[in-house]
């Protein structure tokens, strides 16, 4: 049974009205639906955050009830956070039909330990962390798994190399690189250490000073010649 978000109709207002809502423990939200006028409502930010922080995140399907009347199934289309405190301040919901295809973003999940990392000391670079897919709401995957076990240094996996459920169509460009194993970084000698290594040893410098001092002594006239 899907999670139910309880919403209340509201009259659209400006920033002051929205501030009053947030002080009362609610946030403004809008429900969009195909062929329908948007419905402006208020919801509990805690209920929306529970959905956003779940395993399926924004791809979670939930039911919306407006003033006690069922509005059908929906997903979080967009949301806004306060730039200073990070609190949820607004949300957009998209009504969905369970028999209609959806285009959405799904996270990439890397599984396994790459041979190039384990044996070669390489570094795994996750180049692309999410891809676009199309499927029915009931077939939305939590993630697309990418097995990196066989990857050696300089190997990579592109979108066209992954296997997805036959009910899920991948829309992202097949040539997009998802994961690659890069060679280990070479340790660089710090500039100061390199300068010290190439500098003439201090002992030699002192030796030269002694010789130069001896030459100066020879060039001085002796007391006997006076």
On whether both 62 and 145 belong to a single domain, the answer is no
> Domain range for residue 166?
103-182
On whether both 79 and 109 belong to a single domain, the answer is no
Residue appearing with tokens 């697309």: 144
On whether both 67 and 109 belong to a single domain, the answer is no
What pLDDT, on a 0 to 100 scale, did the predictor assign at position 68?
A: 87
Angle, vertex CA 131, rays to CA 78 and CA 133, nearest 5: 80
Tokens representing 96? 């969905």
Tokens representing 89? 């301040």
What pLDDT, on a 0 to 100 scale, did the predictor assign at position 80?
A: 94
- Is residue 102 a contact partner of residue 135, using CB atoms and an 8 Å limit? yes
What pLDDT, on a 0 to 100 scale, did the predictor assign at position 204?
A: 46
On whether both 132 and 63 belong to a single domain, the answer is no
User: Is there a domain that residue 22 lies in?
Assistant: yes
On whether both 90 and 135 belong to a single domain, the answer is no
> Which residue among 67, 96, 125 closes a domain?
96
User: Is there a domain that residue 83 lies in?
Assistant: yes
Angle, vertex CA 81, rays to CA 75 and CA 65, nearest 5: 35
φ, ψ of residue 143 in degrees (nearest 5): -165, 165
On whether both 166 and 196 belong to a single domain, the answer is no
What pLDDT, on a 0 to 100 scale, did the predictor assign at position 70?
A: 83
On whether both 10 and 85 belong to a single domain, the answer is yes
Tokens representing 161? 């190399």
On whether both 31 and 114 belong to a single domain, the answer is no
> Which residue among 96, 111, 141 closes a domain?
96
User: Is there a domain that residue 130 lies in?
Assistant: yes
CATH number at residue 137: 2.170.120.20
pLDDT, block means (10 residues), the chain with 226 residues: 87 79 92 89 95 92 91 92 91 94 95 95 96 96 95 97 93 98 77 57 48 51 46
On whether both 11 and 60 belong to a single domain, the answer is yes
User: Is there a domain that residue 47 lies in?
Assistant: yes
User: Is there a domain that residue 226 lies in?
Assistant: no
On whether both 82 and 13 belong to a single domain, the answer is yes
> Which residue among 68, 96, 124 closes a domain?
96
User: Is there a domain that residue 224 lies in?
Assistant: no
What pLDDT, on a 0 to 100 scale, did the predictor assign at position 226?
A: 41
CATH number at residue 77: 2.40.240.10
User: Is there a domain that residue 200 lies in?
Assistant: yes
Number of structural domains found in the chain:
3
φ, ψ of residue 40 in degrees (nearest 5): -95, 130
């Amino acid at each position: 049974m899907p999670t139910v978000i309880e919403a209340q109709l509201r009259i659209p207002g400006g920033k002051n009205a929205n501030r009053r809502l947030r002080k009362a423990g609610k946030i403004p939200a809008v429900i969009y639906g195909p062929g329908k006028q948007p419905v402006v409502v208020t919801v509990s930010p805690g209920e929306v955050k529970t959905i956003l922080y779940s395993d399926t995140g924004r791809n979670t399907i939930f039911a919306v009830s407006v003033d006690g009347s069922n509005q059908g199934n929906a997903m979080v289309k967009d949301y806004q956070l306060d730039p200073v405190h990070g609190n949820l301040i607004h949300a957009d919901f998209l009504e969905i039909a369970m028999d209609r295809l959806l285009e959405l973003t799904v996270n990439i999940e890397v599984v396994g330990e790459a041979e190039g990392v384990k044996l070669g000391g390489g570094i795994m670079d996750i180049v692309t962390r999410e891809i676009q897919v199309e499927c029915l709401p009931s077939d939305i995957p939590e993630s697309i798994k990418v097995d990196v076990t066989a990857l050696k240094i300089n190997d990579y996996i592109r979108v066209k190399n992954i296997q997805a459920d036959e009910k899920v169509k991948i829309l992202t460009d097949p040539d997009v690189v998802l994961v690659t194993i890069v060679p280990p970084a070479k340790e660089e000698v710090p500039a100061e250490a390199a300068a010290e290594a190439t500098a003439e040893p201090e002992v030699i410098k002192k030796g030269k000073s002694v010789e130069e001092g001896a030459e100066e002594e020879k060039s001085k006239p002796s007391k006997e010649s006076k």
